Structure 1
């Protein structure tokens, strides 16, 4: 797989949007903007994730990869589930019994951690399809992977077919093309079709062709901005992009805390200043927390020697 210098930039933008849409005040003031962001940024994240997953590993190595996702997923989902008993959380639980816990861990995750669940389910199917029958050609393996994704999506509650589709696309780019930069060209012009499509509510579904166009358009104009970024700013953005995992798992701490300092921004009815500060606090706070865990070696609680990359 050829290294792509734009991937970290893409992921930095996307993880900033993750924090933004989980700010309750921002979502309350701008529900349509929140939903428009939700429509494209997770599909883009899933394409990149599918591309980056490496199945050229031994079973033990791949099991370790899954364990390093599962352990923080389990800890944080259980923590989020516990908090939802006492806080007004969307899709929270009403009882903390064994069936409920097993359901939120293995079947239908709650909170922002569903993405990790998708990563594990798709990753297991990806590895099985490409490694179980090594003598098959690439197209046969890719077809088997598609069949597994479709079967699990249709006949179990473990996977949504639309999320599986974008992960599947990312895998296809890796297996058939190998160079992620070949699916887009750095240009500001794709911001025009992106803008025209993203404001149409009827196109916000992940199953629309329009959303696929939005994802590719985003990659193009984000790559354009990446080419303009240099020096220290570029280094900081790339560092954020390399460390999306700790930012993703820890950001709810800081979006929930943002409710407590919201009154300080009462002078700004737009809510944008509060949102801007919270995204900055979320990025800095999650990275600082990850650094603390690394320094104290508590990162082992999350199955990793180091959380930061």
Structure 2
């Protein structure tokens, strides 16, 4: 995309903040049904946005360079996450660390939030290869892309097909040339069907038609809310939305540290004080890490660019 679409930055910020909030074990355990609802749409919507925003109008060298500089921080953080899961008493525990296990986790079945980057790299690469190097109608290439995603998911076992559907949806919207906000129209009325759907646990599955509908309605509802936010609040959301990569990469470091806050905040029984404190701490910590890497000139080695923290 040649210019940023502010509504999309806003949506990305909401989804990344929800990711942080419900990766707090205490909050996930205290509100399991709310976690099910959020998990139905937050990363699904992120994948739609990713498919829509992926730029294939570039030469192969630049495209591969961009994917490489997503892979490098992904591989580093996934390796750290696996090692941390071996050392710390976490739910996704790893009994022993071997080179084979690390390779498997990086290339086949990543742990934690990093599955998203793994899926993103694979989907983007297939998307680019088909739409840049196969001469056919747009419809034919979309069908071929869907077949390749299916094969990679079911026969290669590299991704969940339910996730790739959403990336494909984003690609279809992009190839249709229609503005994103024409497909996902802001609507207050979207609250009614989404509330009804979320009342039934069987609907809380991103791989079902109900899950797809919930994702669509969640985006429409959030776009409606965006209209009425004060400008200064919007600007904060836009800033976070421009920097979701560093939050996704570094958030596990800070969500683990947030456990130290819990004994001091248990006096507030709903857990909301802990959640808001932890989300703020995690978000600011991730942004501070990115800022520090820029100032220390480390971003060029980790992200392939002089600055990773986006201010505009």
TM-score normalised to structure 1 length: 0.96
User: In structure 1, what is the equivalent of residue 80 of structure 2?
Assistant: 79
CA distance in 2, matches of 1:188, 1:149: 34
Within a 5 Å distance, the mapping from 1:1-309 to structure 2 comes to: 4-133=5-134, 135-305=135-305, 306-309=307-310
**CA drift at 1:301:** 2.9
**CA drift at 1:285:** 1.5
Corresponding residue SS for 1:6: helix
CA distance in 2, matches of 1:118, 1:89: 24
CA distance in 2, matches of 1:89, 1:47: 30
CA distance in 2, matches of 1:152, 1:69: 20
- Aligned residue pairs, count: 308
Contact 1:4 1:180 in 2 (8 A): no
CA distance in 1, matches of 2:79, 2:184: 39
5+ unaligned residues in a row in structure 1: which ranges? none
**CA drift at 1:230:** 3.2
CA distance in 2, matches of 1:296, 1:197: 49
**CA drift at 1:3:** 5.3
CA distance in 2, matches of 1:117, 1:93: 19
CA distance in 1, matches of 2:298, 2:281: 22
Corresponding residue SS for 2:6: coil
5+ unaligned residues in a row in structure 2: which ranges? none
CA separation of 1:3/1:267 partners in 2, compared to 1, >3 Å: closer, same or farther?
closer
Per-residue Cα deviation, 1:253-281 (whole angstroms, up to 9, x for no partner): 11101101111112112211101111111
Contact 1:92 1:110 in 2 (8 A): no
CA distance in 1, matches of 2:262, 2:301: 32
Two-structure CA RMSD over aligned residues (Å): 1.4
Contact 1:19 1:255 in 2 (8 A): yes
CA distance in 2, matches of 1:237, 1:12: 6
CA distance in 2, matches of 1:118, 1:299: 23
TM-score normalised to structure 2 length: 0.95
**CA drift at 1:102:** 1.0
After TM superposition, the structure 1 stretch with the greater mean CA deviation from structure 2, 116-125 or 28-37, is 28-37
**CA drift at 1:136:** 1.3
CA distance in 1, matches of 2:186, 2:20: 25
After TM superposition, the structure 1 stretch with the greater mean CA deviation from structure 2, 90-99 or 5-14, is 90-99
**CA drift at 1:91:** 3.0
Contact 2:246 2:290 in 1 (8 A): yes
Contact 1:4 1:179 in 2 (8 A): no
